[in-house]
Amino acid sequence: MADVVVEQGRVVRATGGRKGSSLRNALGRKSTVAFFLTLPLILLIALLVLYPAFYSVYLATLNKAMTKFVGLSNFTFLFKRETFWMVVRQSCIFAITAVIFKALIGFIVAHFVHNIPAKGQRKWRGMLLVPWVIPPAMSTLAWLWLFDPSYSAFNYTLSFFGVGPIPWLGDTFWARFSVILVNVWYGAPFFMIMYLAALKSVPDQLYEAAAIDGANWWQKIWHITLPMMRNIIAITTLFSLIVTFANFDIVRILTSGGPLDTTHLFATWAFQVGIQSSDIPLGACVSLFMVPILAVAAIFILRDVTKRGNEA
C-alpha cells in the first residue's frame, strides 16, 4: 500500500510539474505574449467597433418605430428609392475619383520629396503633411469660407481675371468638384508619405543597373519603381478607399448633401435619414450598404497582395 501511495504521489507530482511547465511554456511563447499585449486593443475594438457593427445590423432589421422585426424589408425598401441609387452612384464617383487623384498627387509629390537632398527633406515632409494632421472638421470650415457665397476668396481672386463668380457649392458639378478637391487636399499627404517610405526601400543598385542598360526615366518608373511599390500602392489604395467611402465631415460641412442631394454620400445620407428624420433602422441600412462594396474591394486587393507575397 505504502508503495502505491508513494507511486501515486510521484505520479501526481509529476503531472503537476508537467502542467506547471506547460503553462510556463505557453506563457513564455511569443504568440501568447503577443496575444496578451494586443488584448486591450482587441477588447477596445470589440467594444467600439464590433458591438456597434452588430447592433446596427440588429437595428437595420427593425421597423421605423423600432417595435418589430421586419427582416430585410428595409433593404428592399431602399432598393426602390431613387435617392438611394443616386447616393450609391455618388459615393462611387466621390471615392474613386478622390482616391485616383490622391494616389497620383501623392506619387508625384513623393518623387519630388525623394529627390530633395536629405538635409532639407525633413522640413518639406513636415510641411506637406500639414493638411493630413489638421482635423478635417476644422480645415473644411476654412474651405467653406473660401467657397462662401458672400465672401468667397476664390471668387474674389477670380474676379480680377474677369472670371466668375462660380457657384462653388450651389451647382451640382462645382459642388462635387469642391468636395472631391477638399478630400484630395486632405488625403494626398497620406499617400505621399506612404509612397515616400516605399521609394526609400527600393535599392539604388536597381536604378544603377537600369541606367547602365540605357533605361530612360519612364522605363525606370515602369519596370522598377512601380513593381517594387505595388504592395504599398494596393494597401494604401484599399485603406484610402475605405476611409473615403465612409467620409462624412467634408460633405456635411460643405454642402450637407446639396444641392438637390447631389453630393450626398452613404454616411451623410444615413445621418439625414437616421438622425434628422428619426428613421434609425433605415439610416442603419444605408450605412451598412457600404460593407459589401468595401468587402469586395478588400477581397480583390488583399488577394493580390497575398499572391505577390507568396511569389516573393
Partner 1 sequence: MSRKTLTRRQFVAATAMSSAALITAPYVRGAYAAGKLSIGFWDHWVPGANKASTDLVNEWAAKEKVEVSIDYITSNNKKIELTAAAEAQAKSGHDILQMPSWWPQAYSENLEPLNDVMEPLLKQNGDVNGTVKYLGQSGGKWLAVPATPGSQIKGPCSRIDLMKKHAGIDVQEMYPAGSPPKADNWTMETFLKAAEACHKAGAAFGIGLGETTDSVDTAGAIFQSFGAELVNAKGDITVKTDQVRQAMEFYKKLIAFLPPDAPSWDDASNNKWLISGRGAMILNPPSAWAVAKRDAPQVAEQCWTHGFPSGPKGRFAPYLPYFWGVWSFGKNKEAAKSLLVHLSAPTSIEKFVAVSGGYDLPAYANMTSFKTWAEEGPPKGTLYHYPDPHKHQTLSIAASPAPPKVAQQIYFQATLTKMALRFARGETMDQALAWAEGECEGFMRS
Task: Tell me, rounded to whole angstroms, the distance of Cα 203 from its chain centroid.
Answer: 29
Residue count, binding to partner 1 (CB under 8 A): 35
- Which CB, 64 or 230, lies closer to partner 1? 64
For 5, 51, 95, the CA distances from 44, given in Å and listed in that order, are 51, 10, 28
Q: Which of 131, 202, 256, 304 contacts partner 1 by CB under 8 A?
A: 256
Q: How many CB atoms lie within 10 A of CB 189?
A: 22
- Which CB, 78 or 110, lies closer to partner 1? 78
Q: Which helix (DSSP H) or strand (DSSP E) does residue 18 occupy?
A: helix 2-28
Residue 89 backbone zone (phi > 0: left; psi -120 to 50: alpha; other: beta) = alpha
- The nearest distance, CB 252 to partner 1, in angstroms, is 7
- Which CB, 106 or 283, lies closer to partner 1? 283
- Which CB, 237 or 255, lies closer to partner 1? 255
Q: Are 171 and 178 in contact (CB under 8 A)?
A: no
Q: Which of 77, 132, 154, 239 contacts partner 1 by CB under 8 A?
A: 77
- The nearest distance, CB 263 to partner 1, in angstroms, is 10
- Should residue 258 be labelled a site residue for partner 1 when binding is judged by CB under 8 A? yes
- Which CB, 83 or 231, lies closer to partner 1? 83
- The nearest distance, CB 52 to partner 1, in angstroms, is 12
- The nearest distance, CB 31 to partner 1, in angstroms, is 38
Cα angle: 280, vertex 286, 287; to 5 degrees: 90
Where do the H-state alpha helices sit in 63-135? 73-79, 82-114, 118-128, 130-133
Residue 82 backbone zone (phi > 0: left; psi -120 to 50: alpha; other: beta) = alpha
- Which CB, 99 or 181, lies closer to partner 1? 181
Q: Which of 61, 75, 83, 220 contacts partner 1 by CB under 8 A?
A: 83
Site string for partner 1, 148-177 (x = CB under 8 A): xxxx-------------x-xxxxx---x--
**Nearest Cα to 87, choosing from 176, 182, 187?**
176
Return d(Cα 116, Cα 114) in angstroms, integer: 6
Interface with partner 1 in residues 91-150 (CB under 8 A): 148-150
Interface with partner 1 in residues 175-194 (CB under 8 A): 175
- The nearest distance, CB 226 to partner 1, in angstroms, is 40
- Which CB, 171 or 304, lies closer to partner 1? 171
Task: Tell me, rounded to whole angstroms, the distance of Cα 263 from its chain centroid.
Answer: 19
Site string for partner 1, 3-42 (x = CB under 8 A): ----------------------------------------
| Residues β-bridged to residue 181 | none
**Nearest Cα to 121, choosing from 130, 108, 112, 131?**
112
Stretch that binds partner 1, among 76-84, 120-128, 213-221, 294-302 (CB under 8 A): 76-84
Q: Which helix (DSSP H) or strand (DSSP E) does residue 174 occupy?
A: helix 172-200
Interface residues with partner 1 (CB under 8 A)? 63-65, 77, 81-83, 148-151, 165, 167-171, 175, 252, 255-261, 271-272, 275-280, 282
